[in-house]
Amino acid sequence: MRKFLRISFVLLLLVVLSFLTWTNRLSYNDVTCENLEIQVDTEDDLFFVNAGMVENMLKEKEDSILGKRYQDINIYLLEEFLDAHPNVKKAELYLTINGDLCVDLKQRKPLVRIFQQDDSYYLDEDFERFSLSDRYSARVLQVYWSEMTEARKETLDSLMKLIAEDAFLKAQITAVVFDENNEIIVYPRMGNHKIIVGEARDLEKKFENLKVFYKRGLEKVGWDRYSQINLKFENQVVCTKR
């Protein structure tokens, strides 16, 4: 008898919860969208996209979104539409019982800017390509090559990790060039010279040699004494005077 009562109680509770969920969904779908609440993540000072742009995009896709009932708004379709923007990494939309359509948007973060013959674009943190913006230019490392290959992407990935972990290199290196032989040349912020790194091997050791030379050599003779610093040779830093 007790077992029967427990089962009956559970079934009754499920029926009540289902009824409340159903009635709540009905009333929720009848809510009218009265306001847009848009939050754009500007971490790392990214300004490819702003709230005004997002609002215009939504109104372009969903005409007269304000005043519509929730059941007439396809937030999943709107999410896909925003995600398709080249500077958007992820958009999340949700509706509140108060009549707000809320948008939380995260921008794509450029790791480097690529200059490839007559073309230019960004690579993000996943090394995925995305186009430039006509309203904002990110201050990131510049990379020059004739074409993007998997080998060059792998080399650039290793190089960027090395630079990111070293405060001096991160502040000093502004541009990386891949020549026709896939050898690397970098250009510094301070000093009117170029740095020939050579093949993408022993990069950590080569840059350690460079840092020692900067500290013991250039600080004494001046940053503009040489036109070229060559790191290609093992345990040597070979310089060319102006």
The pLDDT tens digits for 211-241 are 888 887 776 666 677 889 999 887 788 877 8
Are 115 and 93 contained in the same domain? no
* Contacts (Cβ under 8 Å, ≥6 apart) of 79: 91, 92, 93
CA distances from 18 to 12, 23, 31, 64 (A): 10, 9, 20, 33
- CATH number of 152's domain: 3.40.50.11690
Angle of helix 51-61 relative to helix 75-83, nearest 10 degrees, comes to: 120
Asked if residue 1 belongs to a domain, the reply is no
- Residue 21 in this model has a pLDDT that exceeds 50: no
* pTM for this prediction: 0.79
Domain count, the chain: 2
Are 95 and 121 contained in the same domain? no
CA distances from 85 to 28, 54, 76, 91 (A): 30, 10, 15, 10
Q: What is the pLDDT of residues 158-189, one digit of tens each?
A: 999 999 999 999 999 999 999 999 999 999 99
Asked if residue 23 belongs to a domain, the reply is no
* Closest-CA residue to 182 (of 196, 158, 200, 204): 200
Q: What is the pLDDT of residues 74-124, one digit of tens each?
A: 889 999 999 999 999 999 999 888 889 999 999 999 999 999 999 999 999
* pLDDT recorded at residue 171: 92
Determine how β-strand 100-107 pairs with β-strand 110-116: unpaired
> 108 with 123: CB under 8 angstroms?
no
Backbone angles phi, psi at 194, to 5 degrees: -115, 155
Are 90 and 209 contained in the same domain? no
Residues β-bridged to residue 185: 177, 196
Residue 135 belongs to domain spanning: 110-241
Asked if residue 25 belongs to a domain, the reply is no
Asked if residue 14 belongs to a domain, the reply is no
Domain endpoint, select from 74, 107, 140: 107
- Residue 6 in this model has a pLDDT that exceeds 90: no
| Structure confidence at residue 4 as a pLDDT band (50, 70, 90) | very low
Specify the range with the lowest mean pLDDT, choosing from 59-68, 82-91, 193-202: 59-68
- CATH number of 77's domain: 3.10.20.310
Are 86 and 150 contained in the same domain? no
Asked if residue 115 belongs to a domain, the reply is yes
Asked if residue 2 belongs to a domain, the reply is no
Asked if residue 193 belongs to a domain, the reply is yes
Asked if residue 80 belongs to a domain, the reply is yes
* pLDDT recorded at residue 7: 53
